[in-house]
Amino acid sequence: NTAFEIGTAEFAKNMPEYCGVISKNPTTKAKRYRIEHEEKQFDMAVLERALENARQVAIDHVIDELGEDIQVEHVAEATAGQVILDIRHPDEAEDEPLQLSGIEVQTLPFYALNNRFKELDANRQYLLYCDKGVMSRLHAHHLLCEGHQNVRVYRPASLKSEAGSSK
């Protein structure tokens, strides 16, 4: 098995745990034909470079490794004029929409954020929101590194009382 040969078997064995940190429904048992289709399109040189530069970091230390040079600001309350970007997967945002009185909330999934953020009004302040805060912090850090100074992370004190529930 290739995973054992290249030393990733242990990581792959625990994949559902890691994906569960940031994803509602991670693909952990994909259909063989889908895997083979994606593998044919994959540039193995990318994997080889990644393996050459790889280092081990415990999953609970990934956030700590973002870099001390750029701090991601967290806010517990949004104020008028700020826009909350709900970066959760569309299914999650639809199941439990984030609704705050007097605050504009836009849905912009995490996988589209980096490409579409530059299209947003640069004069507005954006607060990234996801349930656990992991994806919002990672993406906020990335956007800050790219020079966007108008991004923070929205981490309300009580997610349930402010977010409400549609169930």
Q: pLDDT-based confidence at 5, cuts 50/70/90?
A: confident
Please provide residue 83's backbone torsions phi and psi, each rounded to the nearest 5 degrees.
-120, 130
pLDDT tens-digit series, residues 119-141: 999 999 999 999 888 889 889 98
How many Å separate Cα 124 from the centre of its chain?
A: 21
Angstrom CA distances, 45 to 5, 48, 156, stand at: 17, 5, 42
Q: For position 18, what pLDDT does the model report?
A: 45
Q: How distant is the alpha carbon of residue 113 from its chain centre?
A: 9
pTM flag (> 0.85): no
Among candidate residues 130, 135, 138, 151, the one labeled active-site is 130
Domain boundaries, the chain: 2-56, 74-163
Which tens digits make up the pLDDT trace of 9-46? Answer: 776 665 544 444 555 566 778 899 988 998 899 899 99
Under CATH, domain 74-163 is a member of which superfamily? Rhodanese-like domain (3.40.250.10)
pLDDT on residue 167: 34
Active site residue 145: no
The per-residue pLDDT for range 94-124, each reduced to its tens digit, is 999 999 989 999 999 998 998 899 999 999 9
Distances from the Cα of 2 to the Cα of 5, 7, 8, 9, 12, angstroms: 5, 8, 8, 8, 11
Percent of the chain with pLDDT over 70: 78
